[in-house]
Amino acid sequence: MQYSLYDYYKNSFLTLEEILKHYSEHFYLNNHGRNKIEKVLSKAVECDKMKELFGRSIQNRDFPERVPDFNDFSIAIAKTFWFLTQSNDTIALATLAAAVAWNKQINSHFLIIDDEEFRNNILLVFRKLEIVEEMTETKYKAMTDPYIYSKMTSNTDVAPSVQAVNAKIRLKTVILKKLKDFKISQYEYDSMSYDTLREYMVKMIYEDMNMIGSDTRRIANKFGIDLETLINEELERELNR
């Protein structure tokens, strides 16, 4: 049966970089070969259109509403001479590669957009280009069901889920960004004790991440991760650096 790769990856717990690797190794490789993958990855980040997009992002770093989205990346790729005659799955791969490079080179330094939000937007390229793949129902469900995933990747029932580990890593990334972005007035800072200030930070970040409908709440609930405990652990780690 054919499944949309947008649906396949959107509900997974892979990071954008992990999705790029998974897509290239498990789908694109079968149709195009490894040499083509390496050429696409190289062309995607070295083309002039992408360099221009990266430059604009640095200039507009203080304007979150100008963050490039999946359309910006895919259009820049499609307008590059080498990609003019390429297939949609090649455009999708190049878009992912360019977005991952942007996230590493630009977003990791300027913290323009939350990783989770950026990931979910970039995945829309699969829907835009109508990228589908033939796979079994079990394989499709394995990407979002840790029990099936562990059955397919391990010989024991008690082996830790790789996806659960990835989920925790992704939550930690969100927490670290929120800790760095946390703002408090001078009055609040002066009027609170050290312990009260810590409790206040944890409370505010927890409430933000635990909002109904948020991706972070969905991830935490699915894998039984205690958000408040995780926030406390990351705050402690940051303070002890």
Residues 139, 224 within the same domain: no
Q: Is residue 157 part of a domain?
A: no
What is the structure's pLDDT at 156? Answer: 39
Q: What confidence tens digit (pLDDT) does each residue in 93-103 have?
A: 999 999 999 99
pLDDT at 125 over 90: yes
The kind and range of the H/E element at 139 are: helix 137-142
For the chain, what percent of residues have pLDDT higher than 70?
A: 89
What domain range is 191 assigned to?
162-239
Question: Would 126 be classed as within a structural domain?
Answer: yes
Q: Are residues 134 and 56 in the same domain?
A: yes
Same domain, 28 and 138: yes
User: Do 6 and 106 sit in the same domain of this protein?
Assistant: yes
158 has pLDDT over 50: no
**How many structural domains comprise the chain?**
2
pTM of the model: 0.65
- Tokens, residue 226: 């205690």
What is residue 174's predicted lDDT score, i.e. its pLDDT? 83
The CA distance from 5 to 3, in Å, is 6
Residue 109 lies in a domain: yes
Domain boundary among 118, 144, 170: 144
Among the candidates 144, 171, 198, a domain finishes at 144
CA dist., res. 123 & res. 129, Å (int): 11
Q: What is the mean pLDDT of residues 65-71?
A: 88
Do 45 and 115 sit in the same domain of this protein?
yes
